[in-house]
Structure 1
């Protein structure tokens, strides 16, 4: 039986150094029906010439503008035909056999739309990586977290998450998705620009009855922070803004606005914390995020569909507050959470 076709698509913006470091490993990927693509977001460095010169076997698709992560991928994937897309960050190191186990798992169940491998830290490969780890979850108020990472506490990998499980969201650092489902929901929302767009994508798919799966039989190694540093106020703005948008877009109306009110109240505590620490740029970023969210309420309301399902009914939703459990109860490990 013919293996499904797979396209590994790396979105690049001024990332020549990362391409030099990690493309050689991607080239060695062991999968028969595979195409490798670098999509460039109008880089101003020598990225495009580097790929052309050193990797003529890689297909280059060049955007005319830096559209960010979400819209950048949408424009690139409009030009790619394959059964599966793999959205791979340019700062991810891959071993040779990282594709087959995930594809085999997804092929085993037609309701699986998205999957991710185990994601570990490239600089210390015994530890999970912040952006994805062993699969993403959402708490009662819509805060994302991972198996293997609660806020700033990142676990070492001792095989504690070597089970195949359904999760709420898969990391965009190494996201496997069936092209049919990508097209069904229209891909990533371009208005997110970057951060949490993969959570929105997975949530829309879950509302349609699809599964998001974590595959421990494949692992990759992510540098992290390759685009925006964690100490960048713009990243804070995007995270606070986009988190509110995913609640509005994907929750039933009877649930959405109550939870948004609670979230904005919790955000006020974060704003106050930033202010007391003298981090005025970060406090302003929270203000800006809330202003933008309120300004675009009507536009985002138009993106809602008839398939909003309370996320307590979805696998991968944590029924308590991860903020309370981490900062007040001092829980540091996913295994300590009471999920039933």
Structure 2
């Protein structure tokens, strides 16, 4: 049986140890037809010296922090140059199961209509707690949510199914599909970039499939200072507002704007004040403004 070659694109930004842990887990995979393309976004933590010396990765230095979307596009371009048949975008703060890529490739190759596949994703700190078991778009809120988020994994999401999006924490697709769709929209710095890609794939007639037999463990938002940091809120709201304006027409967009301004915004502002994390306020508002204006 022919096994397609897979380029695994990792983006590193001052996460040396996480990336080393990820590479170690990749080396233990049973699927061997792969190569690692490691894109560095201007790290200053010693990553450059370490990875320049490694022969097991194709190392690309951006010299500055381009964000995850643009850095992934750099990796995708290198994978196309090298003739890989498939490309898997993978967060560098993950540890993969030995059979993860085998299961993903099996499903991708089972049907030409399958365009994008992704695994079940669990917390690295709590290996039996779900972070992602499928994705749901919420058009009237201009938002998206992970299925099974923070639920204990009891096998309740072990049925393979189509889903609204695969998170780019781990997303596998054929190189031809990245070509057809023009890669990842470079406007996104982080967040919603994969959702955008999956929506475009579905609109082009491809299936987006969640594969629960494939598993990984995610350390979650390490490069963003953790979920809930000022950096997180800025980029999440910027990407969310841009995604909403790009894909949803009126009146859907109008209702979503009402939800954000009358529900989400006051609730978050109150939470930030109560917790005394006042730096989140300009971060949230600035991200929302930039997303709405396309800046």
With the length of structure 1 as denominator, give the TM-score of the two structures. Answer: 0.79
Q: Structure 2: 5+ residue runs without aligned partners?
A: none
1:64: how far off?
3.1
- Matched residue, 1:333: none
2:285 corresponds to which of 287, 303, 306: 287
**Residue pair 2:14, 2:43 contacting (<8 A) in 1 also:** yes
Structure 1 residues 240 and 257, CA, compared in 2 at 3 Å: closer, same or farther?
farther
Q: Point out the more displaced range, 79-88 or 20-29.
A: 20-29
Q: Is the 8 A contact 1:111 1:209 kept in 2?
A: yes
CA contact (8 A) 1:274 1:280 kept: no
Distance 2:211 2:269 in 1: 41
| Stretch deviating more after TM superposition (87-96 or 164-173) | 87-96
Q: Give the Cα–Cα distance (whole angstroms) in 2 for the partners of residues 275 and 25 of structure 1.
A: 40
Please tell me whether the aligned partners of residues 6 and 86 of structure 2 are also in contact (alpha carbons under 8 angstroms): yes
Structure 2 distance, partners of 1:292, 1:19, is 31
The C-alpha deviation readout for 1:248-306, integer Å capped at 9, x for no partner, is 2223xxxx13222222222222222233341544343343233223422xx9xxxxxxx
Maintained 8 Å contact 2:10/2:39: yes
**Who is 2:29 aligned against?**
29
1:116-265 matches, within 5 Å, as 116-129=118-131, 133-141=132-140, 142-149=142-149, 154-228=150-224, 229-251=226-248, 256-265=249-258
Hey, what does 2:113 align to over in structure 1? 111
Cα distance in 2 between the residues matched to 1:57 and 1:173: 21
Offset, 1:27: 1.4
Q: Give 1:75's aligned residue.
A: 74
Structure 1 Cα separation of the partners of residues 59 and 12 of structure 2: 10
Please state whether the residue corresponding to 1:126 is helix, strand or coil: coil
Q: Distance in 1 between matches of 2:288 and 2:236?
A: 11
Match of 2:63 in 1: 64
Q: Give, in whole Å, the separation in 2 of the partners of 1:183 and 1:61.
A: 21
**2:34 pairs with 1:40:** no
Quickly say closer, same or farther: Cα 1:46–1:286, change in 2 above 3 A. Answer: closer
Deviation at 1:88, TM superposition (A): 0.9
SS of residue paired to 1:19: helix
What is the aligned counterpart of 1:267 among 254, 260, 263?
260
Q: Are 2:11 and 1:18 equivalent residues in the alignment?
A: no
The root-mean-square deviation of aligned C-alpha atoms, in Å, is 1.8
Q: Between Structure 1 and Structure 2, how many residues are aligned?
A: 285
8 Å contact kept, 2:167–2:194: yes
Given the superposition, is the C-alpha separation of residues 86 and 97 from structure 1 closer, same or farther in structure 2, using an over 3 Å criterion?
same
* CA–CA distance in structure 1, aligned partners of residues 238 and 253 of structure 2: 11
Q: CA deviation at 1:231?
A: 2.2
Alpha carbons 1:123, 1:223 under 8 Å: kept: yes
Equivalents in 2 of 1:187, 1:180: separation in Å? 10
Q: Distance in 1 between matches of 2:86 and 2:50?
A: 26
SS in 1 for 2:187: helix
1:7 Cα deviation (Å)?
A: 1.0
